[in-house]
């Protein structure tokens, strides 16, 4: 499917996704869908903007996603709202699925999820009967120790109701960065070469070995989030990590449990950073390779709808800079494997030559169409790409059918307790971007919102702790402690507090828990136990904040003048 189709859904089920803050362009489509008469169900523990325009807001307790989704499936089954014809023709595993889901009645899960059973039933009916229901999900699904299971459980809903492979249906992961889809497409994953070709498949490996004239390892690599473990705790010397080449990532700011990340960077023998700005991780680098930014080079991005789009250079880089691809080529050449390309099109041609699913997406075709959605297997103009991956109910399994998948709910790893009675969830805000090297170096954005960030807390919790709106507070977990400002708001429920991970001083990853999903290895950023304390001497606390910030700015070489933080 494509992003514009959101507008024409009869029902949007927005699950753990805050488009208004994260993707304003997608959010516009959600608003237009509403204007065109779509029903909206929003499943989010906070009253986000989507909840405000929704027909139903399922304000679930954080960490209970699978209970809710299984209870919706249970209702659809029990009330006979399934598309039996679609299930029969296009799926496997229905009987096993029914067996597991049977246990999750809305009445049975209602207290844990914090939503009346009648609301769960109503949402299930609305989803199953609209005719064109589309699911959009985001980090409220992915950033849990049980994440992949929930994605599959949401996919179950699409299969059992036949909401797949047709316009304005399906399940849409509204991906993060502009090119995170592209990074995956190009094989920046530990288990696949470009085009999702498995590293462990001998035939595919042989193809790449022949093309590149090298011997390639037959084992999967590891993900970014397990690097600290491999540096600090791995006993097998062949698996220990001693050198770390970090490109376009700031793990000290963005990975969970910052203290552990810092310890692992300190222990590494050699750290290289390739970035467009200095960041927190750069302080641990032995070598820093400065690269050009998106408007200073050209290439191809993949949109979240699998569409390849060309990006063009609009500015000449200032100073002695190279593009990321030139740096990679020179590094490779210096290490004994000469890599030489004259322009990005030569690299792209090599990619599509080796990836059958991308083979037809030439620079010329992308130029002509504006976007080419893979798979596009043929170079002729007739193959314009694939809008619906599962058109006509055809799936990529060998038998062409979709697999139902069912499993039991697992609670988050670290739950609220006597010492840390609140739950901490970390999210995004509209004015700043991820580790804030880019938006934090922009004075206009910084003047909109600045350090040390905010803690969203319910009026009842704030009152109990004697905390007033805008006051500085201390937030602590088993792993660390930071200062931030209280944003006392009705948008969050009692017992749960929220921070955004943009801030260098109010850095929530000092607190988060590195519990990983077993498959995706994505950390449980959305749930850990914390406590919040009032700071009686606000003046001293502001001095502390400003001193920490001045020190960080010096280390990060941020020398743009800064005005207006009160002392």
Ligand X SMILES: Nc1nc2c(c(=O)[nH]1)N[C@H]1C(S)=C(S)[C@@H](COP(=O)(O)OP(=O)(O)OC[C@H]3O[C@@H](n4cnc5c(=O)[nH]c(N)nc54)[C@H](O)[C@@H]3O)O[C@H]1N2
| Residues near ligand X (CB under 6 A) | 15-18, 21-23, 43-46, 48, 60, 62-63, 65, 138-140, 143, 176-177, 247-250, 254, 274-277, 279, 291, 293-294, 324, 425-428, 430, 432-435, 437-438, 501, 508-509, 512, 525-526
Of 82, 74, 151, the closest CA to residue 110 belongs to 74
Residue 397 to residue 160: CA distance in whole angstroms: 17
Tokens of 297: 């080079």
Residue placing its CB nearer to ligand X in the complex, 94 or 409 = 409
- Interface with Mo ion (CB under 5 A), residue total 1
Cis peptide upstream of residue 375 (ω within 30 degrees of 0): yes
> Which one of Mo ion, ligand X, none interacts with residue 62, CB within 5 to 8 A by kind?
ligand X
CB of 61 to ligand X, least distance (A): 7
Q: Of ligand X, Mo ion, none, which one sits near residue 157, judging by CB under 5 to 8 A according to partner kind? A: none
**Binding partner at 194 among ligand X, Mo ion, none, C-beta below 5 to 8 Å by kind:** none
**Shortest CB 435 distance to ligand X, Å:** 4
HSE, side-chain direction, 13 A CA sphere, residue 142: 14
Shortest gap between Cβ of 70 and Mo ion (angstroms)?
Answer: 26
- Contact in structure between 549 and 451 (CB atoms under 8 Å): yes
Query: Least distance to Mo ion from the beta carbon of 17, Å?
Result: 12
Q: Which is nearer to ligand X, 411 or 459 (CB)?
A: 411
Residue 417 neighbours by CB distance under 10 Å: 10
Minimum distance, C-beta of residue 116 to Mo ion, in the bound complex (Å): 33
Which one of Mo ion, ligand X, none interacts with residue 357, CB within 5 to 8 A by kind? none
46 binding partner (options ligand X, Mo ion, none; Cβ < 5 to 8 Å by kind): ligand X
Q: Is the dihedral of CA 21, 24, 26, 27 positive or negative?
A: positive
DSSP letter string, 152-203: HHHHHHHHHTT-SSSTT-EEEE--SSTTHHHHHHTT-BTTEETTTEETT-HH
Binds 143, which of ligand X, Mo ion, none (CB < 5 to 8 A, cut-off by type)? Answer: ligand X
Closest residue to ligand X in the complex (CB): 138
Min. distance of Cβ 428 from Mo ion in angstroms?
9
Rounded Cα distance, 8 and 30, in Å? 9
Nearer to ligand X, 16 or 187 (CB): 16
Q: How far is the CB of 496 from ligand X (least distance, A)?
A: 8
Least distance (Å) from ligand X to the CB of residue 529? 15
What span, in angstroms and rounded, lies between the C-alpha atoms of 92 and 401?
A: 7
Neighbours of 356 (CB within 10 A): 13
Closest CB to ligand X among residues 247, 535: 247
- Which listed range, 176-184, 193-201, 221-229, 534-542, lies at the site for Mo ion (CB under 5 A)? 176-184
Bond preceding residue 348 cis, omega within 30 of 0: no
Is 176 an interacting residue with respect to Mo ion (CB under 5 A)?
yes
CA angle 417, 419, 422 (to 5 degrees): 60
Bridge-based pairing of strands 372-373 and 56-58 is: unpaired
Q: Give me the phi and psi of 80, to 5 degrees please.
A: 65, 40
Contacts of 51 (CB under 8 A, 6+ apart): 42, 44, 57, 59
With CB atoms as reference, the residue minimizing the distance to Mo ion is 176
Q: Which is nearer to ligand X, 48 or 457 (CB)?
A: 48
Measured from the CB atom, the residue of 23 and 29 that comes closer to ligand X is: 23
Q: Which is nearer to ligand X, 387 or 442 (CB)?
A: 442
Q: Residues 255, 265: contact at Cβ < 8 Å?
A: no
Q: How far is the CB of 498 from ligand X (least distance, A)?
A: 7
> If contact means CB under 5 to 8 A according to the sort of partner, which of Mo ion, ligand X, none does residue 277 touch?
ligand X
Residue 260 · residue 514 · CB < 8 Å:
yes
Nearer to Mo ion, 249 or 544 (CB): 249
User: For binding to Mo ion (CB under 5 A), which residues are involved?
Assistant: 176
């Amino acid at each position: 499917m494509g992003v514009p189709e959101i507008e024409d859904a009869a029902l949007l089920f927005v699950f753990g996704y805050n488009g208004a803050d994260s993707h304003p362009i997608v959010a516009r489509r959600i608003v237009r869908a509403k204007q065109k008469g779509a029903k909206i169900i929003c499943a989010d523990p906070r009253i986000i903007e989507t909840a405000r325009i929704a027909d139903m807001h399922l304000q679930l307790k954080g960490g209970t996603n699978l209970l809710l989704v299984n209870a919706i499936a249970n209702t659809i089954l029990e009330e006979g709202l399934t598309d039996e014809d679609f299930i029969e023709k296009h799926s496997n595993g229905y009987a096993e699925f029914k067996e597991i889901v049977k246990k999750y009645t809305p009445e049975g899960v209602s207290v844990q999820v914090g939503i009346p059973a009648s609301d769960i039933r109503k949402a299930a009916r609305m989803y199953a009967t609209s005719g064109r229901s589309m699911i959009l999900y985001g980090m409220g699904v992915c950033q849990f120790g049980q994440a992949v299971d929930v994605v599959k459980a949401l996919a179950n809903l699409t299969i059992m109701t036949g909401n797949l492979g047709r316009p304005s249906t399906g399940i849409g992961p509204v991906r993060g960065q502009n090119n995170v889809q592209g990074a995956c497409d190009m094989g920046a994953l530990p288990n696949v070469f470009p085009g999702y070709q498995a590293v462990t498949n001998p035939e595919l490996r042989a193809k790449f070995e022949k093309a590149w004239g090298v011997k390639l390892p037959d084992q999967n690599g590891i993900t970014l989030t397990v690097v600290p473990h491999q540096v600090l705790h791995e006993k097998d010397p062949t698996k220990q990590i001693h050198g770390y080449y970090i490109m376009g990532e700031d793990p000290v700011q963005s990975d969970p449990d910052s203290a552990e990340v810092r310890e692992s960077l300190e222990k590494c023998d050699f750290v290289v950073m390739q970035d467009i700005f200095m960041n927190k991780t750069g302080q641990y680098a032995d070598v820093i390779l400065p690269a050009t930014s998106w408007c200073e080079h050209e290439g191809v991005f993949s949109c979240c709808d699998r569409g390849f789009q060309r990006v063009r250079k609009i500015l000449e880089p200032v100073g002695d800079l190279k593009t990321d691809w030139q740096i990679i080529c020179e590094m490779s050449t210096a290490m004994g494997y000469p890599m030489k390309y004259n322009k990005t099109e030569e690299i792209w041609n090599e990619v599509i030559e080796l990836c059958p699913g991308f083979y037809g997406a030439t620079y010329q075709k992308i130029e002509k169409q504006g976007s080419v959605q893979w798979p596009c297997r043929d170079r002729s103009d007739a193959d314009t790409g694939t809008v619906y991956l599962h058109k006509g109910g055809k799936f990529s399994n060998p038998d062409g059918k979709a697999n139902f998948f069912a499993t039991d709910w697992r609670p988050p790893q670290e739950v609220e307790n006597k010492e840390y009675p609140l739950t901490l969830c970390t999210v995004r805000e509209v004015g700043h971007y991820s580790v804030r090297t880019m938006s934090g170096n922009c004075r206009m954005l910084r003047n909109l919102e600045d350090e040390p960030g905010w803690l969203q807390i319910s009026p009842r919790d704030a009152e109990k702790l004697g905390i007033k709106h805008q006051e500085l507070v201390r937030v602590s977990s088993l792993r660390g402690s930071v200062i931030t400002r209280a944003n006392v708001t009705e948008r969050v429920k009692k017992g749960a507090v929220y921070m955004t991970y943009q801030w260098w001083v109010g850095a929530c990853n000092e607190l988060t828990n590195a519990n990983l999903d077993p498959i995706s290895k994505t950390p449980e950023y959305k749930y850990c136990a914390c406590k919040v304390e009032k700071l009686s001497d606000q003046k001293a606390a502001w001095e502390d904040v400003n001193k920490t910030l001045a020190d960080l700015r010096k280390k990060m070489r941020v020398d743009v003048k800064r005005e207006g933080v009160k002392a």
